[in-house]
Amino acid sequence: MSNKRILSLLVCVSLLASVTAKDKPAIRNVLFLISDDLKASTLGCYGDKIVQTPNIDSLAASGMVFERAYCQGTACAPSRQSFMFSKYRGAGQVNMGQHFRENGWYSARVGKIYHMRVPGDIINDTNGGDVASSWTERFNSQGREAHTPGDYACLNLNIFTRALDGRESTKMKHRMFVTVSYDGDGSDQPDWKTATKTIDLLRKHKDERFFLAAGFVRPHYPMVTPKKYFDLYPWQDMKVPHVPDGDLDDIPELGIAGTQNAKNPIGQYPDNWKRMWAGYYASITFMDEQVGRIVKELERLGLRDSTAIVFTSDHGYHLGEHTFWQKSNLHEEVLRVPLIVSVPGMKPGRSHSLAELMDLYPTLSELAGLSIPEETQGRSLTSVLKNSNANVRSGALSVGKKGYALRTTDWAYIRYQDATEELYNMRIDPGQFTNLALSADQGKHLAQLREQLSAKLNANGLQLRKQGKKKD
């Protein structure tokens, strides 16, 4: 054979290898882990100096940590539907789990992926708002929740009792912010059961392609964990968020959270604000342990090199910031979520690129070598996973009942249905204490953000709706 012939064959082989490597999917499996009511700032890998989250921190060290990831819905149901269908509002034709299932993957969920009432659906072992088409199989994780025998606290009513029979006081109507510290190893709790079942499914389906979603309910209250987790966080040592005098004076009426110190009894009990933080931290650490159990089993089974792991939350949570509690508003503590994506063969890092939870559907589809359905409104983040400095969007949109929020690199802009606004320079005011929408010298920035929001809404079939007056 001539040298020219040999050279020609070598070139062909090289080109074929290049094409094959290029076309080969980055992953064979997906492990999707989601927490409930977890704000990004309360994880060690996001800078919290008090919480103990060694397993999530370890996952972060092996993956891409998105510093600016935002949810699209401000409560469980709309947020979860949004990222499962990659739609800002409403459902599409094919959801993420269904997309993988219809392409030959084993698709299963354990615990809460779509909306489930916590604690109602957890206690009653019901599917809540789950979408059956998503899964080959689905499994609930039942638990007694606030009926777990132990030291029961209803923090907004300042009631503390030893519930030996697992029944809280009949006086506890309108109960909120419930914690239960009890003697036990945690194996009776829904999140432990979710981890155990997920491990079982990994073992059973390790030789198949799988899309496996595990949904934890903590730190959503009732925050029920073994006593040893509460012992890590003495409530007396907890620090509550600083709220400047007059902080609410420049927030429009529609921007005031429904649950706040002025309207809820918890405002009367400053010590209980600290107890709420302690319970929140305890629940996070318990949930973190379950994440660790699953990931360690994935590694033991030799699946880490073929599996993309995603960890996130449906939305954030207020724990006294601006005197607000819970969720369902358009401020940073609610909208910003943790997002860690660990993909085999891709370098770990931290990215300040803007991301939306809706982007997970197209991202995982592309990594798996699947087509991205045209109806999805999210954008693939694979370029960011390859290069932390890459950008796929100029703004992250969140949709609330009362308006919209647009987060850009430097600015947070909120526009409500009655045309009132909030504007914050996030570089110098990350706590969102000074609403610049009322400043005469911010006309240029306001005009730009109004135009950017309007364009994004129009491009995605959304519009500002006028807030109607309430009838007597």
Say if 19 falls within a structural domain.
no
Q: Which helix (H) or strand (E) covers residue 154, if one does?
A: strand 150-154
Compute the residue count for the chain.
472
Positive or negative torsion for Cα 194, 277, 413, 262: positive
Q: Is the distance from CB of 387 to CB of 349 less than 8 angstroms?
A: no
pLDDT of residue 26: 84
In a domain, 468, yes or no: no
Sorted by sequence, the CB contacts under 8 Å of residue 353 that are 6+ apart come out as 66, 68, 381, 384, 388, 389, 390, 391, 392
Give the 3-state secondary structure of 410-435.
CEEEEEECCCCEEEEECCCCCCCCCC
Q: Specify if 338 maps to a domain.
A: yes
The rounded distance, in Å, linking the Cα atoms of 364 and 83 is 12
Residue with tokens 């009942």: 401
- For residues 217 and 112, the answer to whether their CB atoms sit within 8 Å is yes
**Number of independent structural domains in the chain:** 1
> What's the rounded Cα separation, in Å, for the pair 375 and 372?
9
CATH number at residue 116: 3.40.720.10
- Give burial (CB, 10 Å; 0-12/13-18/19+) of 378: buried
Determine contact, residues 377/307, Cβ cutoff 8 Å. Answer: no
Please tell me the predicted confidence (pLDDT) of residue 174: 56
313 located within any domain? yes
pLDDT at 7: 52
pLDDT on residue 466: 57
Give the range of the structural domain holding residue 65, as residue numbers without chain letter. 27-459
Q: In this predicted structure, what is the pLDDT of residue 24?
A: 78
Alpha helices in 24-102 (DSSP H): 54-62, 76-85, 96-102
- Nearest 5°: the CA angle 73, 334, 156 is 115
Q: Which two tokens stand for residue 466?
A: 């006028």
Q: Is residue 174 part of a domain?
A: yes
pLDDT for 162 equals 84
Q: What pTM, to 2 d.p., does this model score? A: 0.93
The pLDDT, as a whole number, for residue 159 is: 92
Q: In whole angstroms, how far apart are CA 37 and each of 41, 289, 291?
A: 12, 17, 16
Asked whether the beta carbons of 221 and 179 are under 8 A apart, the reply is yes
How much is the pLDDT for 23? 62
Look at residue 17 in the predicted model and tell me its pLDDT. Answer: 40
Report if residue 216 sits inside a domain: yes
How far apart CA 362 and CA 376 sit, in angstroms, is 7
Is residue 11 included in any domain, yes or no?
Answer: no
Instruction: Give Cβ neighbours of residue 435 (< 8 Å, ≥ 6 apart).
Output: 250, 251, 422, 423, 424
CB 323 within 8 A of CB 248: yes
Block means of pLDDT (10 residues each) for the chain, length 472 residues? 54 42 78 98 98 98 98 97 97 97 98 96 97 98 94 94 61 73 96 98 98 98 97 98 96 96 95 98 98 98 98 98 96 98 97 98 98 97 98 97 97 97 98 94 94 96 64 32
Position 465 in a domain: no
